[in-house]
Structure 1
Amino acid sequence: MAWITLLCAGLLEIGWPVDRKMAQSEGQRLMGVILALAFMFGSGFLLWLAQREISMGTSYAVWTRIRAVGIVLYCFWVYGDPAAATRFLGVSLILANVITLRLTLA
């Protein structure tokens, strides 16, 4: 259950940079800031819960990598960031790192 909580924390972690970007748009500042704070709180709380069973180093590493992969994929999809093969290789290596961390603790 702790790994599912950590996955959810990582997914929420994707939300706050997206909402900070939204807060840069005129007319969406307040909503962007409120949503970013909500995502930060939710993500931090779920990370705290996951760390009851998963070590701090492992949980933090996985949490930040979920955010990194999520943001890259989101920017490919929404903002049209360049989707070069080398970028996908980088994302694949990050995912391999998370899987390796999980398997070594199984």
Structure 2
Amino acid sequence: MSWLVLILSGVLETVWAAALGASKGFSRAVPAAVFLIALVLSMSGLAYALREIPLGTGYAIWVGIGTIGTAVYGVVVLGDPASATRIACLGLIVAGVVGLKLLA
């Protein structure tokens, strides 16, 4: 259960990061509210997962999921560049996250 909660919390990290950007410095109410709700849920889930998952592993996986999700959101929705170098670097993050889950 902790691993599922950790993964969902990582996805919520992507949600709050996207909402933070969309809030335009908290000047837009709906994205700011989505940011706050997703942030609280994401942090709460991380805290729950860390009761059973080692801190370094859990935090790295949570951040990795959020990083990948936010980068993919930026490319797909916001039109950020999708260069081969960028994709390769994101692949390294995925490899690290998978490695932590399987080997740590």
Consecutive unaligned residues in structure 1, runs of 5 or more? none
- Residue aligning to 1:54: 53
Aligned counterpart, 1:14: 14
Identity of aligned residues (%): 36
Q: Distance in 2 between matches of 1:58 and 1:15?
A: 21
In 1, the alpha carbon distance for the partners of 2:80 and 2:18 equals: 14
- How many residue pairs match? The answer is 104
Take 1:74 and 1:22, find their aligned partners in 2: how far apart are those partners? 12
1-structure distance, mates of 2:44, 2:56: 16
CA distance in structure 1 between the partners assigned to 2:15 and 2:59 by the alignment: 17
**TM-score with structure 2 length normalisation?**
0.94
Which runs of 5 or more structure 2 residues have no equivalent in the other structure? none
RMSD of the alignment, in Å? 1.6
- State how far apart, in whole Å, the 2-side matches of 1:67 and 1:4 are: 14
Q: 2:79 matched to which residue of 1?
A: 80
Q: Output the CA distance in 1 between the equivalents of 2:88 and 2:45.
A: 29
Q: State the TM-score, normalized to the length of structure 1.
A: 0.92
